[in-house]
């Protein structure tokens, strides 16, 4: 196994590549009571069109199929796999986002038997005409529930304003119409394409034995390495936004808003993407973080409250910043925000180094939680980022990097205001 070590935070993990192409990462945490494992595939709702290894023609699939497949993986001929984890004293779950589907469990005992169970069931799909039809009704109810969720609609309305054709603007669960087109054959096709171990990663963390994990992987994963790679096909997305304002009326007591900035500096992963991510986080903290002048001004003027927050989402093929919360006058918040951006001609050194220390401290603190480490690891891995590179990358970022990011990313022409009003 390859040992990966970060001297600054004294954390290490081991990497092992199985003969199937599956990458396995183990992070021992001596003395920790809880153990955690995630078995994830690089497959999310954005993967609507792709070329299967060994084929030449593209395959098109209905929206929402990655999420649908995640739901179906927990059902087996003998019943639900949740019951088996429960008998073993483990809590199991799963999630699907734009780029990833992940299956996970946490426990304080019986870790190795739960790990075998995780690896086995994810490699054992069971789809029938009957259980697929039954699932359509369940997911249709979930779609309706999210359609009635103001925060969810606010977010996807913002994405619809930012993007013309990129699949990130489409709800992860799809629509009731799109899931009606799903059948067991297309589920098996997507499973066989994206759930091959060479397209997956296993991350385990806790007070566990590295060699024992490798032994279980060798026993449980039987696939051979696959020739070729999945070619993912995305439409050509214009650099300009789709629309600069989106409004929807729903049952809320006060208007909700998201101000989104489209990122056109995309097309790469690794340390370069990590630097973009951290640099943008620093920008957002300087611009509108809790300690910023703008936050204090907006709060004192009654335009924002404690729901106000900032976030950057950076992926290989898309990215955006979000500034949002609730306000009696979202348009006034956006106007003040744009004015503040226009006034930034230099980055204050004191603010810069204070926020760098804050982000580094937040990163180090996350290593007290096996859940935080595991989820951050998977998110970074899917972008070809080593989580332990965070400290060296943030150290190399300069005030000039932040100022340049302000100039290139926070542009009013690439900004959309999404509002949900009462």
The tokens describing 200, both together, are: 């997956």
Within 8 A by CB and 6+ apart from 215, the residues are none
The tokens describing 410, both together, are: 């926070």
Going by C-alpha positions, the residue among 243, 173, 210, 185 that lies closest to residue 413 is 243
Going by C-alpha positions, the residue among 122, 108, 127 that lies closest to residue 38 is 122
3-state SS, residue 393: helix
Rounded CA-CA distance 278/283 in Å is 9
CB 255 within 8 A of CB 324: no
CB 67 within 8 A of CB 139: yes
Give the number of other CB atoms < 10 A from CB of residue 398: 11
Catalytic: which of 11, 49, 70, 77? 70
Q: Which helix (H) or strand (E) holds 135?
A: helix 129-147
Going by C-alpha positions, the residue among 68, 163, 77 that lies closest to residue 124 is 77
> Exposed/middle/buried for 144, CB within 10 Å: 0-12, 13-18, 19+?
exposed
Indicate if 70 belongs to the active site. Answer: yes
CB 119 within 8 A of CB 220: yes
Going by C-alpha positions, the residue among 220, 248, 255 that lies closest to residue 327 is 255
Between the CA of residue 285 and those of 181, 281, 307, what are the distances in Å? 44, 6, 15
Rounded CA-CA distance 290/16 in Å is 42
HSE, CB side, 13 Å, CA atoms: give it for residue 83.
5
Helices 129-147/184-194 angle, 10° precision? 80
Hey, which residues does 361 pair with through a beta bridge?
none
Phi, psi of 33 (to 5 degrees): -80, -40
Hey, which residues does 60 pair with through a beta bridge?
49
Rounded CA-CA distance 70/189 in Å is 14
Q: In sequence order, which ranges of 172-302 are alpha helices (DSSP H)?
A: 176-179, 184-194, 210-220, 270-288, 293-300
Indicate which residues carry an active-site annotation. Answer: 70
């Amino acid at each position: 196994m390859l040992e990966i070590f970060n001297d600054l935070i004294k954390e290490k993990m081991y990497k092992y590549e199985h003969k199937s192409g599956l990458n396995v990462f183990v992070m021992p945490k001596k003395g920790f009571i809880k153990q955690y494992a995630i078995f994830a595939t690089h497959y999310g709702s954005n993967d609507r069109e792709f070329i299967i290894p060994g084929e030449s023609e593209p395959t098109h699939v209905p929206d929402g199929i990655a999420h649908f497949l995640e739901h179906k993986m927990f059902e087996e001929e003998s019943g639900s796999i949740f019951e088996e984890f429960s008998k073993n004293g483990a809590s199991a779950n799963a999630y699907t986002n734009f780029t990833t589907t992940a299956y996970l469990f946490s426990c304080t005992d019986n870790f190795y038997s739960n790990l075998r169970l995780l690896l086995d069931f994810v490699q054992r799909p069971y789809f029938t005409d009957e259980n697929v039809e039954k699932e359509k009704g369940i997911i249709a109810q979930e779609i309706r529930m999210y359609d009635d969720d103001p925060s969810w609609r606010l977010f996807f309305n913002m994405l619809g304003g930012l993007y013309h054709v990129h699949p990130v603007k489409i709800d992860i669960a799809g629509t009731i119409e799109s899931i009606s087109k799903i059948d067991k054959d297309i589920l098996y096709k997507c499973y066989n394409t994206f759930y091959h171990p060479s397209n997956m990663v296993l991350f385990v963390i806790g007070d566990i034995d590295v060699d024992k994990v490798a032994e279980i992987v060798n026993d449980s994963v039987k696939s051979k390495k696959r020739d070729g790679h999945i070619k993912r096909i995305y439409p050509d997305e214009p650099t300009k936004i789709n629309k600069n304002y989106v409004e929807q009326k729903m049952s809320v007591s006060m208007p909700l808003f998201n101000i989104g900035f489209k990122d056109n500096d995309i097309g790469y992963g690794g340390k370069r993407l990590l630097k973009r991510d951290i640099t943008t986080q620093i920008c957002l903290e300087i611009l509108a973080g809790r300690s910023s002048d703008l936050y204090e001004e907006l709060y004192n003027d009654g335009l924002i409250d404690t729901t106000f927050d900032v976030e950057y989402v950076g992926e290989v093929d898309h990215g955006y910043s979000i500034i949002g919360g609730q306000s009696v006058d979202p348009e006034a918040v956006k106007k003040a925000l744009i004015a503040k951006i226009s006034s930034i001609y230099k980055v204050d050194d004191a603010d810069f180094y204070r926020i760098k220390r804050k982000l580094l401290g937040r990163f180090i603190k996350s290593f007290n939680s096996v859940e935080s480490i595991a989820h951050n690891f998977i998110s970074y891995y899917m972008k070809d980022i080593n989580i332990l590179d965070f400290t060296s990358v943030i150290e190399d970022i300069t005030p000039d990097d932040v100022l340049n990011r302000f100039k290139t990313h926070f542009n009013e022409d690439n900004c959309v205001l999404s509002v949900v009003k009462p």
